[in-house]
Structure 1
Amino acid sequence: MGNNQLSGHIPPELGDLSELRVLALYDNKLTGHIPPQLGNLGALHNLYLNDNKLDGAILKELGDLRELDTLSLGSNQLTGHIPPQLGQLGALQYLYLSGNKLDGPIPPELGKLTALVQLQLWNNQLSGPIPPELGKFEALKVLSLPTNQLSGE
């Protein structure tokens, strides 16, 4: 359902679709918060909510999506910290959180994402040092952190 000019809020009832494997709502005009019920989608492999006007925090409930391969929340208006619970997504290969208003440190728990191929956090308001745990990625091909307020080496 990407690129369809959809507007309004994401219906929490989508969390009832227990066998759903892909939720693609990218490039629409969706607003409001990400419903916590999406954390019930245990079979979900790909979640594309990028390029909308979503706001609020990234929910810790998304850390329950253990089958998730791709989490794409970029180019929204999300605020707050990156939840450390995302470090529980052992199958995650692609994490796109760029182009939001996320702040605070990069959680060291993201270093547990050993299957990660791309980590894109550019154009946020992240601060503090880059966690040394990010140096443990073996499969990582793209690490993009510019336009933040990171410090250190």
Structure 2
Amino acid sequence: MFYKIINRDLFNKGFSGSIPPELGNLSNLKVLILQKNALTGPIPPELGNLTKLTWLNLVDNKLSGSIPPELGNLTELDSPRLSDNYLSGSLPPELGKLSSLRTLWIENNNFSGSIPPELGNLLKLRWM
């Protein structure tokens, strides 16, 4: 029997280390919640392969580095939550391709630079 994994809720499970890039192989994944763990390192660019993803929650970890531009491939994403980490750098202009985006939770990180003008293309965006 074959099963499709479409939801991974791993909220507050005590995970540490980096996010495995192999998660990018779960092509049917719609929900990925890794909130409130002790995850470190960068967000793997392979998560940009999860084109059916509608919900991504990485809040309250210890993630660092920049937001990978590959996340701009997640056009079904509604409300990514990346708050309360150590993310840095500038916001990638590729986020302007997230046509379903309604909210963008990125507070309490170490971002620098200006907001890319491409985010002005996000007609459904109501809160950032």
Partner of 1:111: 120
RMSD between aligned alpha carbons?
0.7
TM-score, length of structure 1 as denominator length: 0.76
Query: 1:104: Cα distance to partner?
Result: 0.4
Partner of 1:2: 11
Partner of 1:97: 106
What is the percent sequence identity of the aligned residues?
A: 53
Query: 1:117: Cα distance to partner?
Result: 2.4
Partner of 1:138: none
Partner of 1:35: 44
- Matches of 2:75 and 2:59 in 1, distance apart? 20
TM-score, length of structure 2 as denominator length: 0.91
Residue-pair matches, total: 119
Residue 93 of structure 1 aligns with an amino acid whose one-letter code is R
Query: 1:108: Cα distance to partner?
Result: 1.2
Unpaired segments of 5 or more residues in structure 1?
A: 120-153
CA shift digits 1:119-153 (9 cap, x unpaired): 1xxxxxxxxxxxxxxxxxxxxxxxxxxxxxxxxxx
- Matches of 1:17 and 1:31 in 2, distance apart? 21
Query: Larger relative CO (CA 8 A, sep 6+): 1 or 2?
Result: 2
Larger radius of gyration: 1
Deviating 4+ runs (over 2 angstroms): none
Query: 1:75: Cα distance to partner?
Result: 0.6
- Matches of 2:102 and 2:26 in 1, distance apart? 23
The yes-or-no answer on 1:57 pairing with 2:66 is yes
Structure with greater strand percent: 1
Residue 65 of structure 1 aligns with an amino acid whose one-letter code is L
Unpaired segments of 5 or more residues in structure 2?
A: 1-9
